[in-house]
Structure 1
Amino acid sequence: MIKRLLSYFYPVKIFSQKSALSQTLEITWSNGDLVMDSLNTNYSYGSLQRILKLGLKNIGFAKIKQMQHILVLGVAGGSVIKTLVDEIEFKGKITAVEIDSEIIKIANRFFKLNEIPQLEIVIADAFEFVLKTTEKYDLIIVDIFQDTKMPNFLFESFFIDRICLLLKNKGNILFNTMLLNEADNLRNKKLIADFKKQSFAIKTIPRVEQHNELIIIEKLI
């Protein structure tokens, strides 16, 4: 309790662990809340939760609440899952894919993800998972980072075409991206242009929490 109170004045780190895939992982009290951080960025809760919650609001909480199956690619501490369950009161199934098993152990310990009954966590590479799954999803949330970097495969046509195929009609994709330089800007512009050629509605929310751009996609047919 004392550490939580002190966190309103300055961040209080309570846990740190090295991970082969994510390098440094830290749990910190910040402004009265627990957050998960990597070496250079927020991984869960804190600013990241605000970013993804804004994207979900743009899709529509009422629409999401009526969905049946949501796929989350990139779990970390599971802040977007907590938003879905606690704030939106989503009752359907959530499948969450995370490549780093150490992150899930930490998330279970500090954020109690293992106590969410409708949540299935799959330890796997997101690219391999979307190749193999035969499920269809109402909402696919893409939130995959290695510290401040995003894997290249996320922006390759094959991956994009595949997640679009997994989307139900009128379903949505919420894609969280980070813009740190001009190359990142051009990358996002190309992705957006590719979607505009297809049967999708697409909008962006730029400069969320300074460096993030949300891309929100709806499958029209």
Structure 2
Amino acid sequence: MFHPFFKISPLKRLISYLIPVTVANSSGSQNRHLEFMLYRNQWQLATEDALYSDGTRYEPFRVAFKHVPKATLAGIKDCLILGTGLGSIVQILTGKYKSTPNFTLVEYDEIILKWALESLNAMGIKKLKPHCDDAESFVTKDKGKYDLICVDIFIGREVPVQFTKMDFLVATKRLLKPGGTWIMNYIVNDSKETMQFLGNIKSLFPDVEVIEKNQNMLLIAKH
């Protein structure tokens, strides 16, 4: 399937400043329904019950990056993104913070990853190393080391439980360079599960900042 980015008429781009314009509907390799939309000239990706990407407007990581020193973001050489979506995190880092690291992108859905790569390439964003893989499997076998790790994994509006367990968290920490930054976007649905998750995080990262933004909880830690 050819990326809809290349098929948008000037009229649809203009209309997108008023309302979201649906450009394509598709089933993904892991999602029953994907809706690809243009809103205010930026791409949005939605499933049946959640918005996965919103260009540089993607609020969870816009908020998170405000809590990381700009010099730290500008100095990133290697960045791992677990849960790529359409590349909102990449767009925020390169667009707002002028950070141009080597991006390792992990996305479980083949169609989403294909769309992300084609749109990011069309924006002139390079140094992308894609992996169509389950994030839990990827972190156990990856040999890379990263200055920044971003975890942004959901099914609908829930973080799959395996990504809150110690095995996964320890594996991601192993991939951080000394002094590296680790950020996770978490959605609060159950208070007991959230407390257990926070206990795991704080036992692994003694110095962790917790930011609550509506139903989202953003966790920022240093190695």
Question: Shorter-chain-normalised TM-score: which range?
Answer: 0.7 to 0.9
Aligned equivalent of 1:112:
121
SS at match of 1:217: strand
For 1:151 and 1:46, locate their aligned partners in 2 and report how far apart those are by CA, in whole Å.
24
Whether the 8 Å CA contact 1:107–1:113 is kept in 2: the answer is no
Whether the 8 Å CA contact 1:78–1:113 is kept in 2: the answer is no
- Runs of at least 4 residues off by over 6 Å: none
SS at match of 2:36: strand
9 and 90 in structure 1: CA distance in 2 versus 1, 3 angstrom threshold = closer
Give 1:32 deviation, angstroms.
3.8
SS at match of 2:222: strand
Q: Does residue 1:23 correspond to 2:27, yes or no?
A: no
Q: After superposition, what is the alpha-carbon deviation per residue over 1:68-127, rounded to whole angstroms, capped at 9, x for unaligned? A: 211100111001011112221223211111111111222234443795321111111111
Aligned equivalent of 2:17:
8
Aligned equivalent of 1:187:
193
Counterparts of 1:86-101 in structure 2 under 5 Å?
Answer: 86-101=95-110
SS at match of 2:58: helix
For 2:120 and 2:32, locate their aligned partners in 1 and report how far apart those are by CA, in whole Å.
20
Aligned equivalent of 2:7:
none
Whether the 8 Å CA contact 1:155–1:187 is kept in 2: the answer is no
Counterparts of 1:1-221 in structure 2 under 5 Å?
Answer: 1-45=10-54, 49-112=58-121, 115-179=124-188, 181=189, 183=190, 185-198=191-204, 200-206=206-212, 208=213, 210-219=214-223
SS at match of 2:67: helix
Whether the 8 Å CA contact 1:8–1:30 is kept in 2: the answer is yes
For 1:47 and 1:39, locate their aligned partners in 2 and report how far apart those are by CA, in whole Å.
22
Give 1:162 deviation, angstroms.
1.2
SS at match of 1:197: helix
Q: Which structure 1 segments of 5+ residues have no match?
A: none
For 1:119 and 1:30, locate their aligned partners in 2 and report how far apart those are by CA, in whole Å.
25
Give 1:196 deviation, angstroms.
2.7
Whether the 8 Å CA contact 1:140–1:172 is kept in 2: the answer is yes
91 and 46 in structure 1: CA distance in 2 versus 1, 3 angstrom threshold = closer
How big is the alpha-carbon RMSD for the aligned residues of Structure 1 and Structure 2? 2.1
For 1:65 and 1:82, locate their aligned partners in 2 and report how far apart those are by CA, in whole Å.
14
Q: Calculate percent identity across the aligned residue pairs.
A: 26
The count of residues paired between Structure 1 and Structure 2 equals 214
- Read off the aligned partner of 2:199 and give its amino acid letter: A
SS at match of 2:208: strand
SS at match of 2:76: coil
Give 1:61 deviation, angstroms.
2.4
Aligned equivalent of 2:3:
none
For 2:221 and 2:139, locate their aligned partners in 1 and report how far apart those are by CA, in whole Å.
17
TM-score under structure 1 length normalisation: 0.87
